[in-house]
Structure 1
Amino acid sequence: MQNNDSQAPSGAPDTNMQSELDAELETLKLRMAELEASNTELRDTVLREKAELENQRRRLQRDLEQARRFANEKLLNELLPIYDGLERGLAVEGGDIATVREGINLTLKELLRIAQNNGLVQVDPLDQPLDPDRHHAVSMVEAPGKAPGTVVSVLQKGYVLNDRLLRPALVAVAKDD
């Protein structure tokens, strides 16, 4: 008697399926290796960027510290000739009062020029109406011919630095009759 069962040889479908699974596994392994490489590359990029930001922060901090330390360098450099002139003036023996006064006046003009070049402006409000934002009235005086509230004398000049009041002018103001 013959066996007429037509069965496929045992193991053939399993072998086919196994090779498909092996191929898929191999594909997944390759994909995982690609992703790991990409992840490593991204991690390295992030670390480099983080290090660059930290270096930049340190540079900015150092530059800011240098700017703070030497912010007045230009101004002080401009003031040195005035300092030298005052020292020379004090070293002169026996000068007459007119010469000394002229030297002081020239020194004051140079000092005011340097201050103006650096944004400092004098507030000298003589004969102007009182401005409480820039003037400080310390007294009210009789001033015939002057309108009430007009500055009639300046006891101490005020100063403004780049549109910001440093010191108000101390003034005497005309009072009502």
Structure 2
Amino acid sequence: MTEEEAAQTPDEEQPEGTEPADDADAESETEQSVEDVLGSTSTSLVAKVAVEDEGLAVDLEEHLADLERRREEAEAEAEEFESKLKRKQADFQNYKKRAKKRQEQLEERATEDLVERLLDVHENLKRAVEDEHENVESLREGVELTLKELNRVLDEENVTEIEPDPGEDVDPQRHEVMMRVDSDHPEDTIADVYRPGYEMADKVLQSAQVTVSDGEGDEG
């Protein structure tokens, strides 16, 4: 073959389905670059997630530590409150005991004072009975003086008589009805006082015994 023929002979044809070597290398490099990028991105994402997870874990730990601190503070406050409450209860019980004892002492003194004043009345009555009197009038005067002394003692103790007037309405809290009688007073009102009662500072010590009118005396 001459040089001219050789020059005119076309290059050998490439087998079908194959690419030139330069294109294959380029494609291979491209795929490798994509894999590198994906790998780098994936690593970055994993690292970012890890950092975020670590930050979240730290936040949770701090939050739990704060909750634990608050719980301990609450328990300490509860213990302090319970301790104060127990002290207050003990103080209150002691106060009640002291108040009760003081009240008992006051009542004892009041009773002693009343008895001492009544002893004078008692002695006067004894003398009135034991002494010889020339006449009834002198005895009467002695008894009247003794009664006056007794009334003074009762007045000092704020003791007053319950002695309603005839015609007044019956008060079940202060009057004890003994019987019903004919009377000129309106029906169901007090006809007469059989025995006076006594009250002390608005507290009834003894009800007055009374009779009640049945209204029969109004007729005729």
Deviates more, 1:158-167 or 1:66-75: 66-75
> In structure 1, the residue corresponding to 2:207 is in which secondary structure?
strand
Does residue 150 of structure 2 align to residue 111 of structure 1?
yes
Structure 1, unpaired ranges of 5+: 141-146
Higher helix residue share: 2
Kindly tell me: are residues 49 and 108 of structure 1, through their superposed partners in 2, closer, same or farther at Cα, counting changes over 3 Å? same
Residue aligning to 1:148: 184
Query: Bigger relative contact order, structure 1 or 2, given CA contacts below 8 A and separation 6+?
Result: 1
For the 8 Å contact 1:122–1:159, the answer to whether it is kept is: yes
> In structure 2, the residue corresponding to 1:168 is in which secondary structure?
strand
1:23: Cα distance to partner? 2.4
Residue aligning to 1:55: 94
- Scaled by the length of structure 2, the TM-score of the pair is 0.51
In 1, distance between residues paired with 2:180 and 2:126? Answer: 36
Equivalent pairs counted in the alignment come to 165
1:105: Cα distance to partner? 1.5
For the 8 Å contact 1:160–1:166, the answer to whether it is kept is: yes
* Higher gyration radius (CA): 2
1:127-166 to 2 correspondence within 5 Å? 128-129=166-167, 132-133=170-171, 136=178, 148-149=184-185, 156-161=194-199, 162=202, 164=204, 166=207
Residue aligning to 1:123: 163
For the 8 Å contact 1:159–1:168, the answer to whether it is kept is: yes
Does residue 101 of structure 2 align to residue 23 of structure 1?
no
Kindly tell me: are residues 148 and 170 of structure 1, through their superposed partners in 2, closer, same or farther at Cα, counting changes over 3 Å? closer
Residue aligning to 1:95: 133
Structure 2, unpaired ranges of 5+: 1-31, 187-191
1:129: Cα distance to partner? 4.1
- The letter of the residue matching 1:103 is G
Work out the percentage of aligned pairs sharing the same amino acid.
23
- The letter of the residue matching 2:74 is L
Residue aligning to 1:79: 118
